Structure 1
Amino acid sequence: MNKSLLATVAALSLSAGVAAHAEAEHTLVFSSWVPPTHNINAQMLPNMIKMIEEATGGRVTGEIRMGIAPPPAQMDLVLDGAVDVAYVFHGYQPGRFTSYKLVELPGVDTTAEAASVAYWNLFQNHLAALNEHRGVKVIGLHTHGAGQLHTNTPVDSLADMAGLKLRMPGGVASEVGTALGTTGIQVPAPKVYETLSSNTADGVMMTIDSRQGFRLTEVAPHYFEIPGGFFRGSFAYIMNEDVFADLPEELQTALEDKVFGEPISRMSGAVWDEGDAFSIQLTKDTEGNTITQASVEDIAAFASIVTDVQASVIEEVSAKGIDAAAALASFRSELGVQ
């Protein structure tokens, strides 16, 4: 899908949602902070609203509102009842969330769909006990695809990264970047284009899908990838607890059985995978863009860095009160990785 078509899809999805409100008994207000053409707005949230409508026989629908507040404020929007549903990127709020880092660790070469389903199961079996999302209802979890490196000048090896000033999303990506000798700056995703176009940063560690969603082909034409990525970002869909409790019991049951949990986690991961594939092709088709694969030597060197970062994350998460090593092993076992 090109940009104009994505914009059309987003607009049609929103207008369809408006039409659906007229017939629905309950309209959930969704907050979104990415650009209108991003796949979260063009596909994920409209898909979720469609799943909600189908599960409830049209009695519940949703309305997407964009740009209400910056990414770090999404949890508080839902807590305060300003919106009913939102999604949070855990890495934007260091200290508030910690356990998600187990999912962000590199070294797992899999799809976002598979990782997202495994993430939901990991949460149910290990992470929910930490109550890091206290005050809101977690209704889904997902990861994006492998986070890779996007720069304004060519990078041919890991050694070339030393000294680069890179926008980092926080979490494991920032720890990996430090280990590689880069200088990290934290900028919310909606500000990435501006940051790169002004040369405030040399590049960004971000999802592949961002080459289309955040127009990185224009400001970071050089793409460097390593198997499994440098990290894998973590998102949660959250809902206001009182809004859910106020729904009739049969509607609560329908949402829990047919939408929340694995269904929307799987759907969201699958959308990321499709977006990644599109962005790779877009990069190949865009004049001046390059794609560089990590060498065998770089892959081996990065494995050592992963081992160190993993040990640090396990220690940090274990301090919160769970067996982090066992939780990570469970997550990776489901994905067929040791």
Structure 2
Amino acid sequence: MKFTKLTTLLASAALAVTGTVAMAADYTLTISSWAPPTHGINAKMWPKFVEMVEEATDGKVTAELKLGIAPPPAQMDLIMDGAADASIIFHGYQPGRFVVTKLIELPGYEGSAEAASVAYWRAYEKYLAQADEHRGVKVIALHTHGPAQLHTSSPVTSLDEISGLKVRIPGGVGGDVGTALGATGIQVPAPKVYETLASKAADGVVMPFESRKGFKLTEVAQNVYEMPGGLYRGSFAFIMNEDTFADLPEDIQKALEEKVFGEPLSREIGKIWDEIDGIGRAETEAAEGNAINAASEADLEKFSAIAADIREKVIAEVAGTGVDAQAAYDMIKSEMAAY
């Protein structure tokens, strides 16, 4: 999709993520996003992206945010087709399309979402990009959410109680973990979790703490079963239409590549996820009738064995793509530990 001169978009520019009409800008990006308006993705991440883009280009490029153009699984094709210029995708929504991205989702990593996101980008540049799983779009950032925990309407206080529950679990490693724990997986996009729980179509969901506020889980899943380090981490990419980027002047392309895209943006998004996870925890602690149940030492030991089996399986799966999966995993783990 071509960038459109802002002077021809006087009305729609008022919807810019920054909330202002940046009349000095020469180009406007159209951002497609699927999360609720108040979710941290839209309230904090995209505004940070726009701030970084405007600063790097001296205000020549800005962006406007549009919600509800397409459901989450359709965002990759939406950007490839040029229906929007940029979007965020969750890799687990498209099973089979993304394999190497499962490496960052593995349970057992120690560190923040910021540390994970930086490590992810570095491993992507060195190892994972060669799988070319994002062909057709330009990857401008990679990040993870915080450790995913189990959120349920009825209290869960041990790992064994998960078996037989109907649980909304995304694809990717989250699905592998759900199967290993004996849960009956229900796959619905994140924006549908509230109604899925409210209608009793599921007993719970596995999501990071930010969802307590971002998807109002304090109202429909009052209990959290917390596993230190999480049951998995979700993998996301910020992507851009290739023609849109190619149509930009070379000096602007260079500025974006050097100051925004890649590790700088990945770091900032991961940092924001840590922030909104903290907000979600605080919301839970303050909400009447909500409880956080910590996993016992026995459960930690049991889950450690489950996680080891899943890691072995995923590393073998990623190695099947031709990527040096063990080296990439070792790099992510060491980068996070040293961050």
| TM-score class, shorter | over 0.9
User: In structure 2, how many angstroms separate the alpha carbons of the residues matched to 1:132 and 1:145?
Assistant: 23
Aligned partner of 2:95 in structure 1 is 94
Alignment of 1:132-211 (within 5 A): 132-211=133-212
Deviations 1:69-97 (CA, angstroms, capped at 9, x unpaired): 00000001110000000111000001110
Q: Which residue of 2 aligns with 1:114?
A: 115
How far off its partner does 1:326 sit?
1.2
- Unaligned runs of at least 5 residues, structure 2: 1-13
2:247 is the counterpart of 1:246? yes
The secondary structure found in structure 2 opposite 1:19 is coil
Amino acid at match of 1:37: T
Percent of pairs with identical residues: 58
Give, in whole Å, the separation in 1 of the partners of 2:245 and 2:92.
26
- Partner residue of 1:235? 236
What one-letter code is carried by the residue in structure 1 that aligns with 2:177? V
Q: Give the gaps of 5 or more residues in structure 1.
A: 1-12
Q: Tell me what 1:9 maps to.
A: none
Counterpart in 1 of 2:31? 30
Find out whether 1:260 has 2:264 as its counterpart: no
Q: SS of 2:337's equivalent?
A: coil
2:255 aligned with 1:269: no
In 2: Cα distance, 1:275 partner to 1:49 partner: 19
Q: Match for 1:174: what amino acid?
A: G
CA distance in 2, matches of 1:210, 1:16: 22
Distance 2:184 2:17 in 1: 44
State the alpha-carbon separation in 1 of the partners of residues 248 and 95 from structure 2. 33
Deviations 1:278-304 (A, max 9, x none): 111110110000001001110000000
Give the letter for the 1:103 counterpart: I
Aligned residue for 2:53?
Answer: 52
* Cα distance, 1:22 vs structure 2: 2.5
Instruction: Measure the CA separation in 2 of the matches of 1:321 and 1:16.
Output: 40
How many residues end up aligned between the 2 structures? 325
Distance in 1 of aligned mates of 2:164 and 2:268: 38
Alignment-derived partner of residue 106 in structure 2? 105
* Paired position in structure 2 for 1:3: none
TM-score, normalised via structure 2 length? 0.94
Q: 1:323 and 1:257 mapped to 2: Cα distance?
A: 27
State the shift of 1:23 in Å: 2.0
TM-score, L = length of structure 1: 0.94
Matches within 5 A, 1:76-95: 76-95=77-96
**Is the CA contact 2:142–2:237 (under 8 Å) kept in the aligned structure 1?**
yes
| Kept in 2: contact 1:224–1:293 (CA 8 A) | yes
Say if 1:267 and 1:172 are closer, same or farther in 2 by CA, change over 3 A.
same
Structure 2 CA distance, aligned partners of 1:20 and 1:329? 46
Contact 2:110/2:336 (8 A) holds in 1: no
2:327 is aligned to: 326
Contact 2:169 2:175 in 1 (8 A): yes
**AA aligned opposite 2:298:** E
Q: Is the 8 A contact 2:36 2:42 kept in 1?
A: yes
Q: Deviations over 1:3-29 (max 9, x none)?
A: xxxxxxxxxx95564634422101000
Q: Deviations over 1:113-143 (max 9, x none)?
A: 0100000001000000000000110000000
Q: Deviations over 1:184-219 (max 9, x none)?
A: 010000100010000000000011100000000000
Deviations 1:38-71 (A, max 9, x none): 0000000011001100110000001100010000
Whether contact under 8 Å (2:17, 2:50) holds in the other structure is no
CA contact (8 A) 2:16 2:64 kept: no
Q: Are 1:21 and 1:62, in contact at CA under 8 Å, matched by a contact in 2?
A: no
- Provide the rounded CA distance (Å) in 1 between the counterparts of 2:308 and 2:146: 20
Question: Structure 1 CA distance, aligned partners of 2:291 and 2:15?
Answer: 35
Specify the alignment match of 2:284 in structure 1. Answer: 283
Contact 2:151 2:222 in 1 (8 A): yes
Q: 1:7 is matched with which residue?
A: none
Paired AA for residue 334 in structure 2: S
> Helix, strand or coil for the counterpart of 1:62?
strand
* Structure 2 counterpart SS, 1:335: helix
CA separation in 1, counterparts of 2:238 and 2:95? 18
| Contact 2:157–2:293 (8 Å) recurs in 1 | yes
Matched position secondary structure for 1:100: helix
Q: One-letter code of the match for 1:122?
A: A
| Structure 1 SS opposite 2:141 | strand
